[in-house]
Amino acid sequence: RAKELGKNNYQFFTKDMNEIIANKMNLELGLRKALINEEFELYYQPQVDVGTGKIKGMEALIRWQHPEHGLVPPNQFIPLAEETGLIIPIGKWVMQTACEQAKKWEVMLHRPLRVSVNISALQFQQTDFTEVVKEVLETTKLPASSLELELTESIVQDPEQALPVMNQLKEMGVLLSLDDFGTGYSSLSYLRSFPLDTLKIDKLFIDNMNDVKDDAIVRTIISMANSLELNVIAEGVETVDQLTSLAGKACDEYQGYLFSKPVPHQDLEKILQANTSTMPVI
Ligand code: C2E
Ligand code: MG
Ligand code: MG
Ligand code: MG
């Protein structure tokens, strides 16, 4: 295309760049407005005990109810929110809202329920991050042990920065989980030295469990997690076959469309109420 345009390709690319910048600026403006106008919404996906079928907790996943474009998934705006720093107020809103909701459900069901919140690297690196967590727990009165923070391998990649913060959070009683395990670069020695509670096996490995090698990887991750006394959750479980296979490998919990997609809080409330008696899927 650029070749066809010959001497004009400079202009061509410039116009293209302008468009990209304009789109980004529109999106950034939209995100700022969304915060003020309360257009964000949390969906919740149950995390289920493989053995009993009982819901142990749920992951809060952000959605943007856009006035014109409808429901926007996080992959379409979280990257720009991170780039612009807007993830800091957005992330705080997520944590506050998820903890408020979890507190309501604990009161309703008379049992502890864990809520997992995704944390971006930029959020985690703020010097007041632990203060923000403390404040949210105080205002919502949710026990610290009911809040789990999902960290990515990119966060723990810098142990000198991450470890003191993780230790502080552990002292507060907050649970820590390593999300998307297997897709990043974290080494086994990291797993040993970090104060983690949960390991989440990425959907990629669960998808390919019919492959002998991937099946072996999943088996190894689970047995390693078990020996390190980590709670292990399989992400993106869609079929009974996958669940059966995970049960055979002594996986603790699973999360995926097989049990439920992420749903609005009203829908999760119904699922929670129906789940009080344990009913295994397999
Ligand atoms: P994640 O934390 O790994 O979340 C799991 C994603 O897998 C969710 O996508 C969920 O809907 C999807 N999923 C769960 N089970 C299945 C399944 O059985 N099949 C398939 N195909 N997908 C499944 P979602 O909600 O679109 O979120 C995507 C990513 O966006 C999340 O990945 C997380 O990295 C990020 N994210 C979501 N909410 C937040 C947030 O509040 N803050 C931050 N910083 N990131 C968030
Ligand atoms: Mg997650
Ligand atoms: Mg994940
Ligand atoms: Mg993922």
Task: Convert the pLDDT of each residue in 7-18 to its tens digit.
Answer: 555 555 566 777
Q: Which structure tokens are listed for 36?
A: 């003020």
Q: Which structure tokens are listed for 18?
A: 């302008």
1 pLDDT higher than 50: no
Pick the residue whose CA is nearest to atom 6 on ligand 1.
Answer: 236
Q: What's the 237 CA to ligand 2 centre distance in angstroms?
A: 14
SS3 of residue 179 by DSSP: strand
Pick the residue whose CA is nearest to atom 33 on ligand 1.
Answer: 118
Rounded Cα distance between 199 and 230, Å, is 7
User: Could you tell me how far CA 59 lies from the centroid of its own chain?
Assistant: 6
pLDDT in tens, 140-163: 999 999 999 999 988 888 888 999
Q: What is the mean pLDDT of the chain?
A: 91
Contact 263/231 with Cβ under 8 angstroms?
no
Ligand 1, residue 258: give the atom nearest the CA: 18
70 pLDDT higher than 60: yes
Angle between helices 159-172 and 129-140 (to 10 degrees): 20
Which pTM does this prediction carry? 0.93
Ligand 1, residue 62: give the atom nearest the CA: 38
- From 64, 118, 203, the mutation candidate for ligand 1 (largest count of ligand atoms within 8 A of CB) is 118
Terminal-residue alpha carbon distance, the chain:
55
**Model pLDDT, residue 268:** 97
Pocket of ligand 1 (CB under 6 A): 45, 61-62, 73-75, 78, 91, 94, 118, 120, 150, 179-180, 235-238, 255-257, 262
**Model pLDDT, residue 2:** 46
> Residue ranges of the alpha helices (H) in 110-237?
121-125, 129-140, 153-156, 159-172, 188-193, 203-207, 212-227
* % of the chain beyond a pLDDT of 90: 79
Least confident range of 47-51, 226-230, 275-279: 275-279
205 pLDDT higher than 90: yes
Higher pLDDT, 182 or 189: 182
Ligand 1, residue 237: give the atom nearest the CA: 18
Pick the residue whose CA is nearest to atom 2 on ligand 1.
Answer: 118
Ligand nearest to the CA of 75: 1
SS3 of residue 164 by DSSP: helix
pLDDT confidence band for 20 (50 / 70 / 90)? confident
pLDDT confidence band for 131 (50 / 70 / 90)? very high
